[in-house]
Structures are given as structure tokens and as C-alpha cells.
């Protein structure tokens, strides 16, 4: 595969410039660079001899001297997006081909050098690196010591933006060999810091969250290469130490293969990561090129996020591919008018949000599953006609709503499918707002069953009364209670983030659908609720109901139009569906 490669060359006067290799392919010997471009408000335009003007972050202003270091590139050829993406119309390699080559560039490189420019505590890092060499190290004790240190010193490797950005996630996934380079080691900050106990608690929670993001990436990487924690105890922790403290990872030493492994789901795992990009279109261009069968359109740089994602989804919905697209939020459910989409499949395709703030919001309304067959996406009529009942979201009605949820919903399945960055995961310690406090409370009301299912009884019983919420404060939160409960339940039913839930609630409303096996909670388009004939509403499904619930549709003269969806029901309800479906 043809690519562009460069290296740093020193002139006779000791100044540095970029030299381009006349012809290069992914079969050549080269290094790939992974780095964060920086924040828009801090990067500066800088002239680089041999390239022209590029944008550099404060920590990389002397980029050629950095790259020339022997522990980075020296005089070797390398690929770096700053210098090796040519967007000009007359480029020898089309921009579409350049984008499709990126996964291969990182997979085929000698090594991926990860440049971290955030400040990193040198004293803790030296201590942890030394401890990590002990083969009998206690993993739990190490984790406790690491968090204890970062209560007052936040300068940890996992705080670097490299663990926040989507492109760096992809580059890290592709790499077979990685070498982390710390560009800004500093003295420990904890002896100069004076903070309250409450702030220590919040700071520690923030570090737990950031460390969790790093750990999630590493678990993601193991899965990408076909490695399972269950097959070798401590595999994730070993990788954590190798990357963050020993700074070198070789997947061959873990007996991993070049990814993605057939069992790996690029769309689902990218969505779970919550990573961000500067340009929304990159939520498509960073992920889909690693999926077999995807081709970016020729005018890719002229298209915006919505058009690019629509094109990508269409490629996989119209052809038999290894990835099957399932709508968590169907397009027909989000239509502002009752003008029906045609054909039927259009209303069942995913609705695409505008201006997502992260990959979770970008991929919030669909999932990509590579374990399904074509027959799993066929539609079946379940029940007709159906009726609706209103849902009471008052504080007094909450116990009844919880009982209804636990009796009809597959609570464990919903717990698995919630957005990690959404309110249903219950990860944040910062509950200083009424909204945050309520979401924390709702987690412990609606998620009791799945938590109890997988927690030892003693731990579960101890967790319920301790450190959850301020009950006294909850008793006076009235104006926002019903609204926040609705937002929370949208996230729980559809597996979305809060921002997506807010957009949905402008267009849909909750209803209960009575069935022989209980009332199903559903989200239905408001416009159709007020205008469609009651006898025209039906319930349909696919064999993928365990991913997307059942679907509410309106019967037309020759087809059906999807206008809503239900929660994911229990297996008992599915037995009823199979016995009564047409």
C-alpha cells in the first residue's frame, strides 16, 4: 500500500528540515508517531522546512529536535500525520486512499512512538517503575498507592489527553509495538498542594475515572488482538504496567494477532470509549476504515459528519457484510412530522444526531454487531393493534415504576448496554447538582437487580446504605424530579448519553403498552401519538430484539412505519412473542 514517509535531516549549518522519501509503501521499514495535536486555543501555526506551515501544540514547538532524538526517530523514516497527509487535489495518493491506509500504517510500522507532553510526576513514576519490576507485586496494593498519590498530585500518565482523543485510541489499537515517550517529567506537586478533604475525595474520583478510561483502552486493545483476560489472569494489569510505567508493549509477547480479531466489534467498542476529535467527521473517518468492506466516498473532505455517517451506515445496511447495523433510535421515531419515510426500511434505519461532542454521541443511536446473520434483521409482526397508557413520573409513583421495570425488562441486558459516559453507569463522585444527585439515586433504584446478581451478598448489602446520596437533600428536589427521571430512563432504555436523551425527549414521549405478560415501557413519536389512528399502531420485532427491544410501528396501506421502540423485554416475554407472532 502506497504511503508518504519522511525523516529529519540535518543540514551542514546544523539546522533541521524534513526530507520526503520519493516512494514508500507499508512494506518499508519506518516508525509511526502517535500524538495529540493540542487544543485549538493553544496550538500555533509554525513553519517547518521541507513541509511548510503546520499547527503545533506548546509542548512540540521544537518538533524536529524532538523527533531527531535517538529514543524517538533518530535518522529513521517515519510517518506522522502533521507531515504525511497530503490533502491537495493533485496529490499522488488520493485522500480517500490515504485515510484507508492509516490502519495499515500503524499495524505495519516497526514501532508506534507515543509522545506524551502533559506533565508527569517523576518521583511517583520512578517509584512505580521500580515496584513494577517485582514479579510478586500486590496488584490491589499498587492501585491503592497510585490513587493515594494522585489525591494531591494529578500529574499521572493516565491524565494525558492521549487517553481522551479518538485518533490516538485507533493508533494505539493498531500498534503491534508501542513505546511511550514522556516529554515533560516534573517534580511531585503533592507537597506544594493544600486542598480540603472533600476536594481530595473528588480529585481521587476524577483520577479513578481517568485511570478507568486508560484501563478500558487496554482491555479494548487486548480484545482487538484476540486476547482474553479469562485465559491468563492479570493480563490487563501486566499491559497497564508495560504501557504506563515500563513504556514498552510488544503484542507478540502476549501471543496476540494483528487486529481486529473476528470477535471484535469496532463500532461498539469505539462508542463505549467516549473519545473526542476536533472535527466531527473524524468520528467516521477514524473508525470505519478498519472495518472490512468500508470505502470512504471520493469527495470525503467535502462531506460533513451527518453525510459521512449516513453513507457509511448505508454501505453496511445494503450489502451482506461482516457487521450488521441495528438502530437503537430508529429514524422514523425522530421525525418531526407524520410524513412517512419510504420504503419501510428507511424508518427502521438509525437516526443520526447533529454535532456530536464525542464518539459516544456520534454512535449513540445504533450498534454494529458482527455476530448476527442476515435473518436476524428481518421484521416480524408481534401484536396488532396495541394500546397505550400514560406513565406516571412523580416521586410517589417511583416504587411502582421500579417494580414494573424489574418485572418486564431484561435488567442485566440493559446494564450491559448503557453508555459508560451516561448517567446509568453511576461512575461520577461529583454530585453537587440536583440533577447529578438524582441520577446517582436512580442508578441505585433501577440497577439493584443486575448489581445484586453479580456482587457478593455482603458487599451488595453494605453498599446500599453507604455513600450513595444525601437522602435529606433528595426530599426537597421536586421541580426537576420528573424531568430527570425521564432523562435517566431514556438513557437506560435506549443505552444513550444524556445529550442524546434531551434531543429525543423533544420528539418522543413515554407510554406503557399492555400485554399478556405485563406492561412494556416504550418511547413513541409525539406527532404520531396525536395524529395516527389507534387501531393502526402495531408491535413488530426482529430476531435482534435483545439489542434493540421491540419496535412500535404504524400500519400504512402497503407497509409499516417505525415510530418508537420498547425496552428489551425478559426472555419470558419473548417466549410469548414466538408463540403468537405471524
Cα distances (angstroms) measured from residue 452 to each of 19, 159, 372, 456, 461: 61, 32, 30, 7, 9
Chain Cα centroid distance, residue 97: 25
Give the pLDDT of residue 582.
Answer: 47
User: Structural domain boundaries of the chain?
Assistant: 1-109, 118-158+187-258, 280-361, 380-580
How many Å apart are CA 427 and CA 440, to the nearest integer?
Answer: 9
Per DSSP, the chain holds a count of helices (H) and strands (E) of 24, 21
- Nearest Cα to Cα of residue 515 among 541, 477, 544: 541
- Nearest Cα to Cα of residue 113 among 71, 62, 68: 71
Give the pLDDT of residue 38.
Answer: 87
- The answer to whether the Cα torsion of 396, 399, 402, 408 is positive or negative is negative
Give the pLDDT of residue 70.
Answer: 97
- Residue with cell string 438502530: 327
Give the pLDDT of residue 179.
Answer: 98
**For residue 385, is the peptide bond before it cis, meaning its omega torsion is within 30 degrees of 0?**
yes
Other Cβ atoms within 10 Å of 338 Cβ, number: 14
Please answer whether residues 343 and 349 qualify as being in contact, where contact means their C-beta atoms are separated by less than 8 angstroms: no
- Nearest Cα to Cα of residue 418 among 315, 262, 567, 318: 567
Please answer whether residues 154 and 222 qualify as being in contact, where contact means their C-beta atoms are separated by less than 8 angstroms: no
Cα distances (angstroms) measured from residue 389 to each of 261, 330, 385, 509: 46, 22, 14, 11
Give the pLDDT of residue 444.
Answer: 85
pTM of the complete model beyond 0.85: yes
* 3-state DSSP assignment of residue 459: helix
Could you report the per-residue pLDDT of 463-515, keeping only the tens digit for each? 544 445 555 666 656 778 999 999 999 999 999 999 999 999 999 999 999 98
User: What is the 3-class SS of 169-180, one letter each residue?
Assistant: HHHHHHCCEEEE
Give the pLDDT of residue 337.
Answer: 66
Please answer whether residues 308 and 285 qualify as being in contact, where contact means their C-beta atoms are separated by less than 8 angstroms: yes
Give the pLDDT of residue 154.
Answer: 85
- Nearest Cα to Cα of residue 496 among 305, 318, 333, 385: 333
Give the full edge-to-edge strand order of the sheet including 537-541.
380-383, 537-541, 551-555, 560-566, 518-525, 508-515
How many Å apart are CA 362 and CA 522, to the nearest integer?
Answer: 23
How many Å apart are CA 309 and CA 368, to the nearest integer?
Answer: 13
Other Cβ atoms within 10 Å of 373 Cβ, number: 11
Cα distances (angstroms) measured from residue 499 to each of 237, 365, 491: 33, 12, 9
Vertex 11: Cα angle to 6 and 16 (nearest 5): 55
Give the pLDDT of residue 433.
Answer: 78
Q: Report, as ranges of residue numbers, the positions in the chain whose pLDDT lies below 70.
A: 192-193, 229-233, 318-322, 337-345, 370-378, 427-432, 453-477, 576-582
Vertex 201: Cα angle to 196 and 204 (nearest 5): 120
How many Å apart are CA 229 and CA 235, to the nearest integer?
Answer: 6
Task: Give 508-530 as a DSSP string.
Answer: EEEEEEEETTEEEEEEEEHHHHH
For residue 326, which phi and psi values (nearest 5 degrees)?
-120, 135
How many Å apart are CA 45 and CA 23, to the nearest integer?
Answer: 28
How many Å apart are CA 484 and CA 469, to the nearest integer?
Answer: 15
For residue 469, which phi and psi values (nearest 5 degrees)?
-145, 165
Give the pLDDT of residue 72.
Answer: 98
Could you report the per-residue pLDDT of 97-132, keeping only the tens digit for each? 999 999 999 999 999 999 999 999 999 999 999 988
Give the pLDDT of residue 105.
Answer: 98
Amino acid at each position: 500500500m502506497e504511503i508518504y514517509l519522511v525523516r529529519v535531516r540535518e543540514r551542514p549549518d546544523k539546522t533541521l528540515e524534513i526530507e520526503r522519501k520519493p516512494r514508500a509503501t507499508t512494506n518499508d521499514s519506518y516508525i509511526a508517531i502517535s500524538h495529540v495535536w493540542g487544543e485549538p486555543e493553544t496550538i500555533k501555526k509554525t513553519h517547518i522546512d521541507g513541509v511548510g506551515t503546520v499547527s503545533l501544540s506548546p509542548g512540540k514547538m521544537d518538533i524536529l529536535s524532538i523527533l531527531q532524538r535517538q529514543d524517538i526517530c533518530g535518522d529513521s523514516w517515519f510517518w506522522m500525520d502533521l507531515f504525511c497527509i497530503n490533502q491537495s487535489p493533485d496529490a499522488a495518493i488520493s485522500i480517500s486512499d490515504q485515510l484507508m491506509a492509516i490502519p495499515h500504517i500503524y499495524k505495519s510500522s516497526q514501532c508506534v512512538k507515543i509522545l506524551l507532553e502533559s506533565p508527569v510526576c517523576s518521583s511517583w513514576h520512578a517509584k512505580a517503575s521500580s515496584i513494577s519490576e517485582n514479579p510478586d507485586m500486590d496488584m490491589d496494593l499498587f492501585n491503592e498507592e497510585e490513587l493515594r498519590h494522585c489525591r494531591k498530585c494529578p500529574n499521572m500518565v493516565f491524565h494525558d489527553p492521549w487517553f481522551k482523543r479518538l485518533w490516538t485510541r485507533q493508533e494505539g489499537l493498531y500498534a503491534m509495538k508501542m513505546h511511550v515517550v514522556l516529554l515533560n517529567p516534573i517534580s511531585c506537586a503533592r507537597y506544594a498542594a493544600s486542598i480540603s478533604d472533600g476536594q481530595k475525595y473528588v480529585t481521587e474520583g476524577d483520577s479513578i475515572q481517568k485511570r478507568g478510561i486508560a484501563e478500558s483502552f487496554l482491555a479494548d486493545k487486548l480484545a482487538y488482538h484476540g486476547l482474553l483476560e479469562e485465559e491468563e489472569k492479570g493480563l490487563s494489569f501486566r499491559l497497564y504496567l508495560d504501557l504506563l510505567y515500563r513504556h514498552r508493549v510488544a503484542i507478540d509477547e502476549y501471543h496476540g494477532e494483528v487486529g481486529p480479531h473476528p470477535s471484535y466489534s469496532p463500532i461498539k467498542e469505539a462508542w463505549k470509549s467516549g473519545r473526542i476529535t476536533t472535527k466531527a467527521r473524524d468520528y467516521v473517518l477514524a473508525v470505519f476504515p478498519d472495518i472490512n468492506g468500508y470505502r470512504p466516498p471520493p469527495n470525503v473532505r467535502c462531506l460533513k459528519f451527518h453525510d459521512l455517517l449516513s453513507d457509511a451506515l448505508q454501505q453496511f445496511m445494503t450489502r451482506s457484510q461482516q457487521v450488521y447495523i441495528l438502530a437503537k433510535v430508529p429514524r422514523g421515531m425522530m421525525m418531526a412530522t407524520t410524513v412517512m419515510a419510504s420504503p419501510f426500511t428507511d424508518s427502521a434505519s438509525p437516526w443520526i444526531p447533529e454535532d456530536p461532542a464525542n464518539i459516544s454521541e456520534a454512535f449513540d443511536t445504533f450498534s454494529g454487531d458482527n455476530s448476527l446473520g442476515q435473518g436476524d434483521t428481518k421484521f416480524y409482526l408481534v401484536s396488532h393493534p396495541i394500546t397505550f397508557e400514560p406513565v406516571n413520573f412523580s416521586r410517589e409513583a417511583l416504587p411502582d415504576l421500579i417494580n414494573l421495570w424489574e418485572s418486564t425488562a431484561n435488567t442485566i441486558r440493559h446494564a450491559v448496554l448503557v453508555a459508560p459516559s451516561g448517567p446509568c453507569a453511576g461512575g461520577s463522585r461529583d454530585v453537587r447538582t440536583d440533577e447529578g444527585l438524582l441520577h446517582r439515586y436512580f442508578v441505585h433504584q433501577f440497577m439493584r437487580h443486575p448489581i445484586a446478581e453479580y456482587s457478593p451478598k455482603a458487599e451488595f448489602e453494605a453498599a446500599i446504605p453507604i455513600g450513595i446520596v444525601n437522602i435529606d437533600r433528595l426530599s426537597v428536589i421536586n421541580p426537576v424530579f420528573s424531568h430527570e427521571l425521564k432523562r435517566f430512563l431514556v438513557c437506560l432504555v435506549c443505552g444513550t448519553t444524556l445529550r442524546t436523551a434531551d434531543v429525543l425527549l423533544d420528539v418522543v414521549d413515554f407510554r406503557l403498552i399492555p400485554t399478556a405478560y405485563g406492561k412494556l415501557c416504550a418511547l413513541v413519536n409525539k406527532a404520531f401519538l396525536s395524529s395516527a389512528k389507534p387501531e393502526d399502531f402495531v408491535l413488530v420485532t426482529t430476531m435482534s430484539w435483545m439489542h434493540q427491544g421491540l419496535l412500535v410501528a404504524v400500519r400504512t396501506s402497503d407497509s409499516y412505519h417505525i415510530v418508537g421502540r420498547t425496552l428489551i423485554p425478559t426472555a419470558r416475554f419473548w417466549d410469548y412473542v414466538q408463540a403468537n407472532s405471524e
